[in-house]
Amino acid sequence: MQTRPFRVVGHTADIAVVVSGDSLKQLLENAALALYYLTIDKPLVGSIETRRVEIDSIDDAALLIDWLNELIYLLFVDRLACWDFEFDDIGDGGAVAHCHAARLSPDTRLKREIKAATYHTNLLSYSDGGLVARVVFDV
């Protein structure tokens, strides 16, 4: 059985996940998976479209949070859930990605409202095996 590249960890008020990835690109993809795991409980079915997302952050830790907040906006406002990503450029706090997304049907209920992904200290750490991030979502 394939294991998820993230795990949900305890947080008193909100929801926290620990996400890992071999590279920054994979970390962003896996963080997106965690977001959709927390919010969508049905297979994605719907019209497909592609959105270009460009993020300019102060560093890679902020990039991860800004990336998730971009996906949260797409999900809760445009009702788009992205399932595949092509990155033109990534690193030094910036990323340009083409996000292939399914538009949720009007009757698709989301499991919970996520207000935002939040910043905190020691958000992102690097190791020989890649990157690990602990993300707290405000719900």
Partner 1 sequence: MASLRKVDNFRWEMPLYYKPGMRVPGMVYASERMLDSILQDESLDQVANVAFLPGIVGRSMAMPDIHWGYGFPIGGVAATRVSDGVVSPGGVGYDINCGVRLLRTDLVREDLHGRLPALMERLFRNVPSGVGSQGRLKVAKGDIAGLLTEGARWAVRHGFGTSEDLEATEDGGELGGADPDAVSDRAMMRGLPQAGSLGSGNHFVEVQAITDIYDAAAASTMGITCVGQVLVLIHTGSRGLGHQVCTDYLKTMGRAVLKYGIALPDRQLACAPVESNEGRQYLAAMRCAANFAWCNRQHVAHWVRDAFQEVFGRSWEMLGMQQVYDVAHNIAKIEMHVVNGTAVSLCVHRKGATRAFPPGHGALCARYAAMGQPVLIPGDMGRYSYIAVGTARAMDETFGSTCHGAGRLLSRNAARSATRGGDVEQELRQRGIIVRTDDVPALAEESSQAYKDVADVVNVVHGAGLCRKVARAEPLGVVKG
Residues within the interface to partner 1 (CB under 8 A): 8, 10-15, 57-58, 61-62, 66, 69, 73, 76-77, 109-113, 115-116, 118-121, 123, 136, 138-139
Our CB check for partner 1 shows the closer of 54 and 86 to be: 54
Our CB check for partner 1 shows the closer of 22 and 91 to be: 91
Cβ 20 to partner 1 shortest distance, Å: 19
Phi-psi region of 93 (alpha: psi -120 to 50; beta: other; left: phi over 0): left
Cβ 22 to partner 1 shortest distance, Å: 25
Our CB check for partner 1 shows the closer of 15 and 132 to be: 15
Cβ 39 to partner 1 shortest distance, Å: 8
Please give the torsion angle defined by the CA atoms of residues 10, 13, 15 and 19, in that order, rounded to the nearest 10 degrees: -60
Which among 24, 1, 94 is positioned nearest to 56, based on CA atoms? 94
Cβ 87 to partner 1 shortest distance, Å: 20
Our CB check for partner 1 shows the closer of 119 and 126 to be: 119
Which among 126, 137, 128 is positioned nearest to 60, based on CA atoms? 126
